[in-house]
Amino acid sequence: MSTLTRKPLVSGNWKMHHTHLDAIAFVQKFAFSLTVEDHRRTEVSLHPPFTALRSVQTVLDADRIPVALGAQDVHWEDKGAYTGEISALMLAKLNVTYVIVGHSERRQHFGETDETVSKKVRAVLAAGMIPIVCVGEGEAERDAGATESLVVGQLRAALAGVAPEAVAKVVVAYEPIWAIGTGKAATPDDAQSVAAALRESVAVDHGTGSGNSIRIQYGGSVTADNLGEMLGLPDVDGALVGGASLDAEVFAGLVTGLRG
Ligand code: 13P
């Protein structure tokens, strides 16, 4: 795959929002707004909470809606005594395509570490799904000029030991923590330079083929107003959207706003 064939991926991370009933209504309304051409131009994934995955899957299947199903987290073991956890095999059985791994909210509030992220990445790939590996710096690290070394370190740890063919399929989400839910997105220049550094590190560690193929999303206060510019950047191939993915019309507006 070359730069030319990296199809943009716009993902809606609902976080802890929407019951399964809300989710069904969302998908029906959302799908109605998108055309075949929108789907051809942009790949879309929806990441509802675990409790809504089956409902969303059923609507997508029944209405043959070409939107990918995604999860927000996963456990790295296939099964076992891990109360409250969900395995990659369980997600794969629901036709989940993408699994968010290492979101900063999980790193901050739930003890996610580079080590657990790495185990989850392997489990997701082994189950035939694609991880969306989240990396991002906090405000203090940014002010200290440590952004690139920090995010490259997070990505290196997440992909260590993964075969190049598998790395090529991975999606990386660069989400500066200070930009999440604040209305203050990174500038396109900053997003591009961090994305370029991430791609370069993948090329160095896993080969230029993987570096060229890997898709890099930007996340953090993405709206219809800044999405087009972000996707126009040479190394940004999509977006991971939180707040602006919660309303069907608003999220559909992000995708239809990319029409030529
Ligand atoms: P917002 O789009 O609400 O800033 O959230 C970004 C995010 O964390 C997506 O994973």
CATH number, position 42? 3.20.20.70
pLDDT at position 5 over 90: no
Beta bridge partners of 100: 132
Whether residue 37 lies inside any domain: the answer is yes
Q: In this structure, are strands 215-219 and 130-135 parallel, antiparallel, or unpaired? A: unpaired
> What is the pLDDT, as a whole number, of residue 241?
99
Catalytic residue numbers read 103, 175
Confirm or reject: Cβ of 136 under 6 Å from ligand 1: no
Whether residue 70 lies inside any domain: the answer is yes
Alpha-carbon distance of 131 to 246, in angstroms, equals 21
E strands, the chain, in order: 9-13, 43-47, 68-71, 96-101, 130-135, 171-174, 215-219, 238-241
Whether residue 2 lies inside any domain: the answer is no
pLDDT digits (tens, 9 = 90+) for 26-84: 999 999 999 999 999 999 999 999 999 999 999 999 999 999 999 999 999 999 999 99
Q: How far does the centroid of ligand 1 lie from the alpha carbon of residue 156, in Å?
A: 23
Contact 175, 138 (CB under 8 A): no
Whether residue 199 lies inside any domain: the answer is yes
> What is the pLDDT, as a whole number, of residue 1?
41
Whether residue 111 lies inside any domain: the answer is yes
Residue type present at position 91: L
For residue 182, the ligand 1 atom closest to its alpha carbon is 4
For residue 104, the ligand 1 atom closest to its alpha carbon is 8
Give the domain extent around 73.
9-256
Whether residue 210 lies inside any domain: the answer is yes
pLDDT digits (tens, 9 = 90+) for 133-172: 999 999 999 999 999 999 999 999 999 999 999 999 999 9
Whether residue 4 lies inside any domain: the answer is no
Contact 235, 211 (CB under 8 A): no
User: Given ligand 1 and candidates 98, 222, 251, which is best to mutate, with the most ligand atoms within 8 Å of its CB?
Assistant: 222
Whether residue 1 lies inside any domain: the answer is no
Distances (CA, A) of 177 to 77, 128, 140, 186, 219: 28, 29, 10, 10, 9
Q: How far does the centroid of ligand 1 lie from the alpha carbon of residue 105, in Å?
A: 10
The tokens describing 45, both together, are: 């994934």
pLDDT at position 94 over 80: yes
pLDDT at position 257 over 90: yes
Give the residue whose CA is nearest to atom 5 of ligand 1: 242
The tokens describing 257, both together, are: 């706003």
Contact 3, 234 (CB under 8 A): yes
Number of domains in the chain: 1
Query: Tokens 């500066």 appear where?
Result: 176
